[in-house]
Amino acid sequence: MSVIFNEIKKIWNIRILLVAIIISILFFSLFLMWDITYFKNGHSKIEEIEYAMEMTKRYGTKVTDEEFSDFINERKKTFISEAEGYINTFPIFSEVGIYNFEDFEKVYSKSEPNERESEAVWTLLGEETDFIRLKIQALDSFEDRYYGYPEYTLDKALNSEDTPKTEFIRLQQIKEKEEYRNIMDVYSFENTVSYSIYLAILTILITLVLVSPLIVNDRSSNVHLLQYSSKNGRRILFQQLISIIISAFMVTTLSILIFGAIYTINDTFVFWNNGLTSFLNVVVDFFWFDLTYGQYILFYILLLYILNIGSAAIAFMISRFSQNLIALIMKLIPIFGVLCFIGFLIFDKTFSNVNILYRFTGIKWMEPIVCLSVLLIGLVSSIYILHREKRMNVLD
């Protein structure tokens, strides 16, 4: 056990750790920070996110017809009253014959308004009127999705001869259980997906940076030749593999804790118990089971552990066949590219019917299958190397 601990200390040395920290800061600034800074950015995106959060706090994970109608009508009444207050305040509206919200809508719907009418329209759409028309527009969008999902997504797919049997069965379940009543904002989900993909890439990158030099440094210093001279020395490679796997686990844990804590700034965890198959989540049609936002996060964490440990095992294998650090880097660059691509395929809307792996293969649950395949390839290759090392002659 002391050998494993010493090998872990070699992996987590100050110099490489500083490199990993610098890479993490740069990567976060370039990619992950975007999903924090620009999450609530633009109208009516801001309003839709806030409405979904408010509905969750008021009604829970799902919404009934009565609750939805009350929410929309209550909000619209308030916003129309505010809009008419602005109409009575700004002279531009009376100049073009707008005296109430109904008059505004008539001008707004014109295909070719004149210059002053356009100016009046943009006044109610702009910051000086607190984007009041866009707030109403977001409510209209909610209504269209709520009443449109059963007809245009469910019924259309259920009545289509092109719908695969597995999808047909799942769509029937959604309709019977009315899962589409789940409150899950599409922008919050897309933001989580984007953040999780970049976090997976960063986690794999940091793992490769930390664990890869361990074996190649011993080989470049010819330490491995001394290891071959005794039975216990030949076992060190196995202990190094264990150290690499433990380190990969540690990197994954730290990444989840640190960057997961940062992500709480977005407040999307208010949807923790909300189902992802939702009338609002228009970026996907459905998920293969009644998956909640919280379960999605937990499955992501599990798959990330599996994928990253598999990546570390592959790095162990590559390191064994590299004579120096330059050769190792040249081999790891394409490997990292492949692992990034695999991570994207796995974590892009995992367990949904629009996941690329499902679309390409037509097979459900491909995401965990691919993760386990990476782990299996890494471990089997590493075990083969360990078995080979036991019989290797020093002169080889």
Total tally of structural domains belonging to the chain = 2
Do 120 and 18 belong to one domain? no
Task: Give per-residue burial for 18-53: e unless 16+ CB within 10 Å, then b.
Answer: eebeeebeebbeebbebbeeebeeebbbbbbbebbb
Residue 175 has pLDDT above 60, yes or no: yes
Do 377 and 341 belong to one domain? yes
Domain-ending residue, one of 143, 160, 177: 177
CA distance 145 to 44: 15
Do 195 and 122 belong to one domain? no
Q: Which of 176-180, 225-229, 329-333 has the lowest mean pLDDT?
A: 225-229
Domain-ending residue, one of 177, 200, 221: 177
* pLDDT at residue number 394: 47
134-166 per-position pLDDT tens digit: 999 999 999 999 999 888 889 999 999 999 999
Do 206 and 317 belong to one domain? yes
- Containing structural domain, residue 87: 64-177
Q: What is the mean pLDDT of residues 337-361?
A: 98
CA distance 104 to 88: 12
Do 172 and 189 belong to one domain? no
Do 252 and 366 belong to one domain? yes
Do 320 and 348 belong to one domain? yes
Provide the 3-class DSSP secondary structure of residue 365. coil
Do 246 and 343 belong to one domain? yes
Q: What is the mean pLDDT of residues 5-31?
A: 95
CA distance 49 to 54: 9
Residue 86 has pLDDT above 80, yes or no: yes
End-to-end, the C-alpha distance of the chain in Å comes to 29
Token pair belonging to 288: 């293969």
Q: Which of 46-50, 260-264, 391-395 has the lowest mean pLDDT?
A: 391-395
Domain-ending residue, one of 177, 198, 215: 177
Side chain identity, residue 378:
G
Q: What is the mean pLDDT of residues 259-276?
A: 97
| CB 307, CB 375: distance < 8 Å | yes
Q: Which of 175-184, 217-226, 271-280, 327-336 has the lowest mean pLDDT?
A: 217-226
Q: What is the mean pLDDT of residues 227-253?
A: 82
Do 105 and 210 belong to one domain? no
Dihedral through CA 59, CA 64, CA 65, CA 67, nearest 10? -20
Do 194 and 342 belong to one domain? yes
CA angle (102, 107, 112) in 5-degree steps: 160
Q: What is the mean pLDDT of the chain?
A: 92
* pLDDT at residue number 393: 52
In a domain, 374, yes or no: yes
In a domain, 59, yes or no: no
Token pair belonging to 190: 């897309």
Name the residue among 38, 31, 24 with its Cα closest to residue 255. 24
In a domain, 19, yes or no: yes
114-123 per-position pLDDT tens digit: 999 999 999 9
Do 220 and 121 belong to one domain? no
Q: What is the mean pLDDT of residues 283-287?
A: 95
Side chain identity, residue 128:
E
* DSSP 8-state symbol, 152: I
- pTM recorded for the entire structure: 0.93
In a domain, 87, yes or no: yes
In a domain, 54, yes or no: no
